[in-house]
Amino acid sequence: MVRLRHALTALLLGVLTVVALNTAHRDVGYARDEGIYFEASRRYASWLALLAQDPGRANQRKVRDRYLAVNHEHPALMKMAAGTSARLLAERPALGTSTSDDDTGGRFPTMPEGAAMRLPAQILAGLGVALLYLAGVALGGGVTAGLLAAGWFLLTPRLFFHAGLHAFDVPVAVAGLWVVLAYRRALHSRAWAIALGPLLGIAIAIKHNALFLPLLLTAHWLCTAAWARFRDRRPLTMGQWLPLPLWSMAVLAPLTTYVLWPWLWTSPTQRLLEYFAFHRQHNWYNMEFLGHNYNQPPMPVSYPAVMTWATVPSTLLVLAAIGLVVLLTRDLMRPPPMACGPAPHNIEGSWWLPLPRDWAPLDGLLLTMLAAFPLVLIALPGTPIFGGTKHWLTAYPFFALAAAAAWGWLWQRSDIGRLRRRWLMPAALALVLGPGALATFRGHPYGLSQYAPLVGGPRGAARLGLARGFWGHAVLPLLPALKGRRVYVHDLHDLARKQYAREGRWPVGAQSSGISQGNAGLLFYEMHMASYEFQLWERMGTGAPQQVLTLHDVPLTSQYVR
């Protein structure tokens, strides 16, 4: 009954997360990358429809490549899911915006096309919340610990913002979480060891961040095995050093990714090499940090650490740090077994069950590696400047689990009676999650520009010279005034503009143009974009914008009219 109650709670939290994201993100404009993903998703879904009707023709190389060439530098799984979702749930495109005869909306039209395409990523975010609740209950020893882990993930403003987009950053973070949870089970279970490879393959088919997971998990297992051998004096077989879970990741994961990425079906070796070359030589973005604009590596080594401090509510970060220390200390201080040798409860491991139940699993080391690695990777001098905090979101589920462990440890050591603790824990949970919940609510729909209270929120971040935003999403309230004008759209991607048009949200008669031909213009505030504002002043004949979108009085987007 206890397990059933936890399962139902996790399901409820997941469903509420999906509903909240799908509803709230109707007010979030389309980010720059989303425009490309929308276009690719429509084409991928068309190929899937052709595959269902005429498999022979769909699998001809020229036909398949024609449909899948758009955005082939990223895996296809999330875009195929988004396109399928739109074919089921999207409303009919606005008059004159259809791209083909079968572009007529979904079979059950219930939401705008963009909302339908965002839905698969939102479902994965809901899955992440549910998994964190269940894992948090186990780590922290109670319901409030599970709620803390789930709330840590959902009520961090940047995470809530990214979780609702048709993008890959939160989905791959959730996929990384399920791979790690499966890995822990795989050390004790043959069935989970076999399932681990396909689960990792799905994660890689979402985004390339998952490629680091097998390296980290292999390193963790070798440390665990070495600890058991040399500290606990446990006998290890040869098979335990390279057990079934590692072979599953090495063999089944690539096969699963290959099946889920049709672009690789033609010349897989050549296209894999192109894929790795693209990300190794990725375009550099401009990023403002502490009053300086960086447009090529190296970024300051402190960048990911400072930005994590600046964007994650401090109560949650402190709990996560305490949890990692507690878990690492538990790993080191765990007493060695009193005796070695065979025992009825399977004290000896094997190739397919490498970690007997009473061997130290080194969970503290596992969570620390997974929480620290994404930040360390971004801090390396040779890492390209990809963008903001979204590129180390894969660390946050493990920070959330560490916070749940700290929560349980702190309450166990509190000198409070059981009855009083029962009433105090929910109040304490509200105090801990409250700042993040309030910041998420107050920052919506511009969560990409929200900062933590200790930084001073968006105002403090502006004074410190931290980025106000990027991607051109903060625009929706400005659109109606552009009716009938020639608009310089600045950082608003043209494919995002086309998506607004397909949904009937782009103003009638408005056309995009260059600054020199426009009689209206948008400006998204980024440090390296200052020259465009000067050009807008000259073209529009005024330095005063007609409208300004702000978050806590900090300008995000301005609209100029001639």
State how far the alpha carbon of 31 is from the alpha carbons of 37, 41, 122, in Å.
10, 15, 16
Helix (H, G, I), strand (E, B) or coil at 372: helix
Output phi, psi for 413, to 5 deg.
-100, 5
Same domain? 160 vs 207:
yes
* One-letter identity of residue 327: L
- Taking the CB of residue 299, how many other CB atoms lie within 10 A of it? 21
Q: Please, are residues 371 and 402 in contact by the beta-carbon 8 Å criterion?
A: yes
The DSSP string of 27-45 is: GSPPPHHHHHHHHHHHHHH
Residue 467 within a domain? no
Residues 368-420: tens digit of each pLDDT: 999 999 999 999 987 777 778 999 999 999 999 999 999 999 998 887 767 77
Same domain? 360 vs 509:
no
What contacts 409, CB < 8 A, 6 or more positions away? 322, 323, 326
Element (H, E) at 512: strand 511-512
Same domain? 433 vs 513:
no
CA angle 31, 396, 261 (to 5 degrees): 60
Alpha-carbon distance 379 to 556, whole Å?
Answer: 27
Q: Which residues of the chain have pLDDT under 50?
A: 339-346
Same domain? 284 vs 365:
yes
Residue 55 within a domain? no
CA angle 230, 232, 235 (to 5 degrees): 75
How many alpha carbons fall within 13 Å on the CB side of residue 514?
A: 2
Domain boundary among 421, 443, 465: 443
Alpha-carbon distance 243 to 221, whole Å?
Answer: 9
Same domain? 432 vs 514:
no
Range of the domain at 231: 2-21+119-335+345-443
CA angle 41, 42, 43 (to 5 degrees): 90
Q: Which of 167, 221, 171, 168 is nearest to 196 (CA)?
A: 221
Domain boundary among 443, 466, 496: 443
Q: Please, are residues 226 and 205 in contact by the beta-carbon 8 Å criterion?
A: no
Task: Identify the pLDDT of residue 189.
Answer: 92
Same domain? 270 vs 162:
yes
What contacts 392, CB < 8 A, 6 or more positions away? 304, 308, 374, 375, 377, 378
* One-letter identity of residue 380: L
Alpha-carbon distance 291 to 507, whole Å?
Answer: 36
Q: Please, are residues 35 and 481 in contact by the beta-carbon 8 Å criterion?
A: no
Residue 318 within a domain? yes
Residue 74 within a domain? no
- Taking the CB of residue 96, how many other CB atoms lie within 10 A of it? 7
Alpha-carbon distance 109 to 116, whole Å?
Answer: 9
Same domain? 312 vs 422:
yes
Residue 363 within a domain? yes
Task: Identify the pLDDT of residue 343.
Answer: 45
Residue 481 exposed, middle or buried by CB count within 10 Å (0-12, 13-18, 19+): middle
Same domain? 178 vs 264:
yes
Measured torsion, CA atoms of residues 21, 22, 26, 28, in degrees rounded to the nearest 10: 30
Alpha-carbon distance 561 to 163, whole Å?
Answer: 34
Buried-exposed string 485-509: b where 16+ CB fall within 10 A, e elsewhere: bbbbbbbbbebbbbbbbbbebbbee
Residues 308-346: tens digit of each pLDDT: 999 999 999 999 999 999 999 999 888 776 544 444 444
Same domain? 485 vs 359:
no
Alpha-carbon distance 106 to 90, whole Å?
Answer: 5
524 beta partners: 557
Q: Which of 51, 32, 44 is nearest to 85 (CA)?
A: 44
Same domain? 387 vs 435:
yes
Question: Which DSSP state fits 90?
Answer: B
Same domain? 242 vs 367:
yes
Residue 165 within a domain? yes
Residue 422 exposed, middle or buried by CB count within 10 Å (0-12, 13-18, 19+): exposed
Token readout for 270 is 């050549």
Q: What is the pTM (predicted TM-score) of this model?
A: 0.95
Residue 36 within a domain? no
Looking at the structure of the chain, the number of domains it has is 2
Domain boundary among 443, 465, 491: 443
Token readout for 339 is 């005796």
CA angle 313, 184, 351 (to 5 degrees): 155
- Residues found in the chain: 562
Residue 65 within a domain? no
Rg (CA), the chain: 25
Same domain? 423 vs 490:
no
Alpha-carbon distance 532 to 523, whole Å?
Answer: 8
